[in-house]
Amino acid sequence: MLQLHKLERYKDDQGNEIVYDGEVLETKIDIRFKGSNNRLVISPKADIKDLLVTFSGDNGQIEIEQTTKKRAGLRFELRCGHESRIRIGENVGCAGRAFISAVEGVSVTIGADVMFAKNIEVRGDDTHPIFDVRTEKRVNPSQSIVVGEHVWIAKHAVVMGGVTIGNGSVIGFRSIVTSNIPNNCIAVGAPARVVRRNIAWERPEVVPRRPNELYPRKGEKSPQYWNPTEDNAASEKPVVRQQQRRGRFLPASVRRLARKLRSS
């Protein structure tokens, strides 16, 4: 394993590469290459505060876009496996280090202007395989994740594989997201469920505000994210790899009914 503690342009004879032309950073930088032909691309304007990157296979790719607005900074632990991809959009902010994992050929996409609180996990995999003991088939394949733009994920929340979260939504404290969440809504719980639709949120904190102050103040509203909830809308369908066909485990009568419905 090759381990680097400096963020700067780099390339080795195994095809691993760091594409970065910004100021050289040496504080809280830990980049590990365990395979070959991996590529880390970071905008020179990305506000990196704390970065641990592990490429655990070959042909992985991680992209981190620029920070052009005032944000908490980028604090990430990123795990990228064989032929997998992680993409972090512009103006993302993290109050604490967020863990993101993409392995087994899947992708995790974080949209622009996402706000991560502390102790967030976005996991396209479960780290360890789980099997059906009757068939010996794996039941927890890795799956891709899409987090849309201007999404607020609160403390200790977890986003699991196969999920799309729509633009402008809020994921509540300690929630576990296991299914798709539409745009502009609040989802809470384990598993997370939508509890309110047609919402919008803004970044300015309420802590210093006076009682009964009107919101939002002039200039605080980001109108592009003030939209009604569309339950069937999705910015992108996640890619699912190694997905097992489940029909064989259903009762014969259910399978016959499903075939009849498909042919009708």
The residues annotated with a catalytic role in the active site are 128
Residue carrying the six token digits 């993302």: 92
**Cα–chain-centroid distance for residue 255?**
35
Q: How many residues does the chain have?
A: 264
CA-based nearest residue to 102, from 147, 55, 155 = 55
- Between CA 104 and CA 110, with CA 109 as vertex, the angle to 5 degrees is 140
Q: Are 23 and 46 in contact (CB under 8 A)?
A: no
Q: Residue 197 and residue 190: Cα distance in Å, rounded? A: 18
Q: Are 157 and 188 in contact (CB under 8 A)?
A: no
